[in-house]
Amino acid sequence: MILFGNPEKQPVAEAMRDFSQFLEGRAEILASCRIEKCTLDVLRDCDFAVVLGGDGTIISAAKDLSEAQVPVIGVNLGKLGFLAEFSVEEFKRMFADIVSGAAPVEKRMMLGCRVSQGGCEKFRSKAVNDVFVAAGPPFRVIELKIAVDGREVASCVSDGLIVSTPTGSTAYNLSAGGPILDGSMEAMVITPICPHSLSFRPIVIDAAGVIEIRFSRINEGTTVSMDGQVSSGLAIDDVVQIAREQSSFLVVNNPMRTPWETLATKLGWAKRPRYVSESS
């Protein structure tokens, strides 16, 4: 087992010390560090990776852990925690079930993004939640053309575009009015950001599709970003290609709650209206 977290954050540093003590005699800890400190060889020797923090920490770790196919146990020390499904108390209480395989492990798809110009690759990265094009400064609307598998889909005048995984459907995609997908699905969501159109609605396509974005008008600060963590500036003749990444990442699900219960408790999804008779 391996522990990941940011020791510069006091609550995380304390949790890492507490978890190290808790795991004594229960599991062998191969490393306790930041994800960037671990080599792929060390990761491949692990049965599980316990990631302490919020969803951002898990997203950072998942990109490396996906290559080693190490299941992620997310322990929430952040604010929301969709991927960080366990509280500290839940992890300790269910530890025996987790390591014995009683807790379900779910495979989640990822996205790969490639930016090219004149046929030459300029940039490549991968994403857990989403790849999005943001208009950027001076914050005028941009115009882009979307194609799937070489066939033109639509032109879009907007503040940008989001391509989301099912995992990321509850992140930026949801805020922009996109649909919620079950995390285990194999699909991609294309969602415009503030489109200059009343009829441009988000669409869901098969995970095997290849999305290509070209530009008719952009800003000096227009960028493409992966999970809001890695970004690259764009030029007018750049081509952004987004497709399913070959590797997936594994998440240990909390057997005490369903994804829909998480949506309801953390985002108030499907909450009943407050009727007059009930409020009086």
Helices in 105-204 by DSSP H: which ranges?
172-175
Cα dihedral value 137, 138, 139, 140, nearest 10: -140
* Interatomic CA distance for residues 1 and 129, integer angstroms: 25
CA angle 232/235/237 to nearest 5° reads: 130
C-alpha pair distances (Å), 127 with each of 42, 54, 162, 171? 22, 16, 12, 13
Q: Identify whether the C-beta of residue 10 lies closer than 8 Å to the C-beta of residue 57.
A: no
Q: Identify whether the C-beta of residue 211 lies closer than 8 Å to the C-beta of residue 146.
A: yes
Q: Within 13 Å and on the Cβ side, how many CA atoms surround 47?
A: 8
To the query of whether residue 55 is one of the catalytic residues in this protein, the response is yes
Point out the catalytic residue in the list 55, 130, 227, 238: 55
Active site residues per annotation:
55
